Amino acid sequence: MRVYGVNFTGTPTITLYNGTDTIIATNVTVVNSNYLTCDINLTGASPGYYNILVNNNEDQDSLEVCFTVIKKLTPPVYIYSKSIYNAGTTLLKMALGDGNNDGKYEIYVGSWRNKIYQLWWDGSWNVDSLSAGNVLFQGVGLGDGNNDGDYEVYGTSNNYHLYQFRWNGSSWDTLDMGGSSTYMARVVIGDVIRDGTFQVYSTDDNGNVFQFIYNGAGYDTTIIATVGAAGKGICIGDGDNDGDVELYVASLSGNVYQISWDGSNWVIDTIGVGSGGMTEIGIGDGDNDGNIEIYACSNDDSVYQFKWNGTAWEKSLVGYGTDKMNDVEVGDGDNDGLNEVYAGCANSILYQFEWDGSSWSDTALFNSGFSIRGIGIGDGNRDGENEIYAACTDGNLYQISYSDTFLFDAGVKEIVSPNDSITPSGEYRVKAIITYKGPADLTFLVHANVIDTTTGTSILQESLTVTMGPSLPETLLTFGTVNLAENVTYNTVVYVPGNDTFPQNDTISIFTTAKRILILYVEDANGYGAPVHPDTIWQIPLVNLLGADRILWMGPTADENEDGPTLDEMKNVDLVIWNCYDYYSEPQLTTNDTINIKQLVADGGKIWLIGQDIYYSLFSKKGNREKGEPIKIDLKAQPNFLGTVFGLETIYEDYLYELNMNIMGIGEALSDTIYVESDFEYDGYLYPDSVGPDTSIAHPILIDPDSNFVIGIARNDSLAAFWAADGRGADTSPGGEWENLIAKMLNFFSVPLGTHEVESQPGIKILSTIGQKVSFIYTGTDNGEVTVSDILGRTVKTFKGLNPGSHVSIKDLPAGIYFVKLKGTDIKKKITIVK
């Protein structure tokens, strides 16, 4: 062990102590008055923090909590990582040590939120903060800068000042130590001038290196060196192994400097140059050869070693990442008794570099997902083992630790099927999402039990074996099938073995009540849908037609990534009405949704899909309203969801951009004109699409009567329908046209309607005239005869043998008033043509 100080003579006694253990050094050799070496036998020593006492010819001095004995791990060892705190802002540099003088380590980390966060472990992580007002702290250091026998915390700020924080036993006292004319960057504490006191040293973004010496009331400041560009790293130590400690500074100029005191002057030497700006610096015996080296990281993605060979500095490459390196530290992070070099990279990787005696090996130890701005090594959680800490731009402070104990957490995240509420009666495959956190693969059992709460009997008991690990932290397990009978409540329990680190997530238990459900209505709007939930435009007529207990409402979905109903849920109802409303941004239907809908229809299930921007959402992402022409969909292209499932062949996107419009059912869903008006909670406009069916698969079923554009199609086999418009703001009065249209669509899908009678009387439905054309639809159950006559009663044309739902037009009529009359009834409609 090396000890640095002043006035060493003779044969001092060196003692390590912590209140429990006392260790006396042997083979003490005073190399010079500032430096001695000794041997320390740690056999049987308790892991933990130690103080050092030097007794030299009846003079003695001590340094508190400066030495850590760690437990050496026995292979195999496992790596664990977790976030111990999220500050909600970018975290920067850190320091580990006893900043509040309680005899234990804490973690101190700077941030963009005008705070230095203090974290300490007492069975759980606690957080406090140190602040000097509206300033952020880039660099953090620990030491006894004012020589009062206690440690303080030091922080470099963006208001050009350096701050000291001293714990007074109940709160932090803050002292502004002065500073620079630009950002202060980094700070360290040590006795570089070898006078027996500590000094504080700091760098700024102008390349100045400052010395702060406490004068009893405040700090005297001196610029001792200038390094040409921002000093982004500073450390203290005997980097050239000559028995004296020096300052080492990493500069954005690409240079690494040694700044030493010769007894009367500061001496500045360049020890090496990188190929990019140097961003941080560390010191220690990284290659375990018994000598101290300097390590610097760079904007060129690399970490370098600078080693004094007795006459000159040798520079060598330790390793590199794929983005700039932000921080570098030396220490025994894996508790194997040897030091390693650790570097935090902007590519979110924490790298470990190990020297094997001839070359450096590198390990991507941890991926945070965000740039790592600061790292630290030490026994931060007071367990007798070192950990590595990484501060990240997403606000997380991560702990990466090694252990020779296999620790894991297997849990049940969610029971996916059946669901935790009322569900359609029928068959369900029991499904659950299982999670795993552990350092290596583990094979374990997952158990499922479904209980009929009426009889108390199990209708399914099953166990599955699963192997999970770091490459498979989450998986969906599918157990057997259960048949949930109508009006019965079931208890589904899924659980994993309880011998892990977090038994609270080992079991999930849900209750499901099965009902005879006719309609499953899915609100899949993600903020672009109805202002009220359930959507009353649909709820009122559906309840009138079917009764409230025959409809199951799902949603609204929270975001575009949320899956809709499971395939089992959809297969156990007569019809799924899936409304995507006006959502358009990301793919509205998830991959699981489209897979399930395809399978539903393939298995003979039925779905009515509604949404005025589904095609845009799933495929085009651009619209073509400007072009004024339809898009041809290649039905042979895959994925081809709307074409293969619903029979869509062409589409003319967003042909209308209005607050209101008219819609009308045709064919099996024949209706009068229905006025609709946007009530969407997003931008309040209607953007319907004109759609064209592949007539071998589907046919029109909904139109815009003002333009005669088809806006809804239905499959010829009655398994699916797709509407590119909706009945927003429609009159929901009982027996009204909107309810009647929905009733006819339900009839199309063969959904039984209770006592509701669908309109079947004969009639004439007039469409709006365009130019000189009269257009109308004949309704009824039998063939009919319709006559068109002018105002004088002269017959213009007679249509005989019209089939129900026939769409009839007469072109090139002169201006005037016309009447359309249905033979055998009193039904007569008036039409006016104006040129």
Q: Is the pLDDT of residue 757 over 90?
A: no
708: domain CATH number is: 3.40.50.880
Residues 147-187: tens digit of each pLDDT: 999 999 999 999 999 999 999 999 999 999 998 999 999 99
500: domain CATH number is: 2.60.40.10
Domain check: are 51 and 102 in the same one?
A: no
**pLDDT given at position 833:** 61
Query: Which has more pLDDT, 581 or 616?
Result: 581
Residues 223-235: tens digit of each pLDDT: 999 998 999 999 9
Find the range with the poorest average confidence among 197-201, 543-547, 661-665, 761-765: 761-765
Residues 337-396: tens digit of each pLDDT: 999 999 999 999 999 999 999 999 999 999 999 999 999 999 999 999 999 999 999 999
- How far is it, in rounded angstroms, from Cα 468 to Cα 366? 19
Domain check: are 784 and 701 in the same one?
A: no
Domain check: are 611 and 640 in the same one?
A: yes
- Own/partner contacts of 113-122, CB < 8 Å, gap of 24 or more, are 113/87, 113/88, 113/89, 115/87, 116/140, 116/153, 116/155, 116/165, 117/85, 117/87, 117/91, 117/397, 118/153, 119/84, 119/85, 119/380, 119/397, 121/380, 121/381, 121/382
**pLDDT given at position 222:** 97
Domain check: are 276 and 383 in the same one?
A: yes
Residue 538 lies in a domain: yes
Domain check: are 243 and 379 in the same one?
A: yes
Residue 122 lies in a domain: yes
**pLDDT given at position 138:** 93
Which candidate, 54, 69, 74, 53, places its Cα nearest to that of 12? 54
N- to C-terminal Cα separation, the chain: 106
- Do residues 745 and 721 lie in contact, with contact meaning Cβ atoms separated by under 8 Å? yes
Residue 130 lies in a domain: yes
Domain ends where: 361, 381, 403? 403
Domain check: are 509 and 524 in the same one?
A: no
Which candidate, 642, 570, 580, 639, places its Cα nearest to that of 606? 570
Residue 757 lies in a domain: no
Q: What percent of the chain has pLDDT over 90?
A: 74
Domain check: are 738 and 805 in the same one?
A: no
Domain check: are 563 and 491 in the same one?
A: no
**pLDDT given at position 622:** 47
Domain check: are 231 and 243 in the same one?
A: yes
Q: Is the pLDDT of residue 770 over 70?
A: no
**pLDDT given at position 623:** 43
- How far is it, in rounded angstroms, from Cα 61 to Cα 197? 12
Radius of gyration of the chain (CA): 39
Residue 754 lies in a domain: no
Residue 598 lies in a domain: yes
Query: What residue numbers bound the domain in which 475 lies?
Result: 409-515
Question: What are the residues whose beta carbons fall under 8 Å from the beta carbon of 250, sequence distance 6 or more?
Answer: 231, 232, 233, 234, 256, 278, 279, 280, 281, 296, 297
Residue 755 lies in a domain: no
**pLDDT given at position 758:** 39
Residues 588-612: tens digit of each pLDDT: 788 899 999 999 999 999 999 998 7
Question: What is the mean pLDDT of the segment spanning 118-138?
Answer: 95
Question: What is the mean pLDDT of the segment spanning 728-751?
Answer: 94
pTM of the model: 0.65
Domain check: are 801 and 710 in the same one?
A: no
**Residue 628 pLDDT level (bands cut at 50, 70, 90):** very low
Question: What is the mean pLDDT of the segment spanning 48-52?
Answer: 95
**Residue 103 pLDDT level (bands cut at 50, 70, 90):** very high
Residue 753 lies in a domain: no
Q: What percent of the chain has pLDDT over 70?
A: 90
- How far is it, in rounded angstroms, from Cα 103 to Cα 230? 35
Question: What is the mean pLDDT of the segment spanning 758-769?
Answer: 51
Which candidate, 831, 768, 826, 771, places its Cα nearest to that of 797? 831
Q: Is the dihedral of CA 272, 278, 283, 285 positive or negative?
A: negative
Question: What is the mean pLDDT of the segment spanning 41-46?
Answer: 94
**Residue 640 pLDDT level (bands cut at 50, 70, 90):** low
- Do residues 342 and 387 lie in contact, with contact meaning Cβ atoms separated by under 8 Å? no
Please state the domain count of the chain: 5
Q: Is the dihedral of CA 656, 620, 599, 578 positive or negative?
A: negative
Residues 456-467: tens digit of each pLDDT: 999 999 999 999
Domain check: are 676 and 662 in the same one?
A: yes
> Over the range 452-461, which residues count as b (16 or more CB within 10 Å of their CB) and which as e?
beeeeeebbe
Three-state SS for 16-58 is EECCCCEEECEEEEEEECCEEEEECCCCCCCCEEEEEEEEECC
**pLDDT given at position 627:** 45
Domain ends where: 403, 430, 460? 403
Residues 697-733: tens digit of each pLDDT: 999 999 999 999 999 999 999 999 999 999 999 999 9
Domain check: are 644 and 685 in the same one?
A: yes
Domain ends where: 29, 50, 69? 69
**Residue 643 pLDDT level (bands cut at 50, 70, 90):** confident
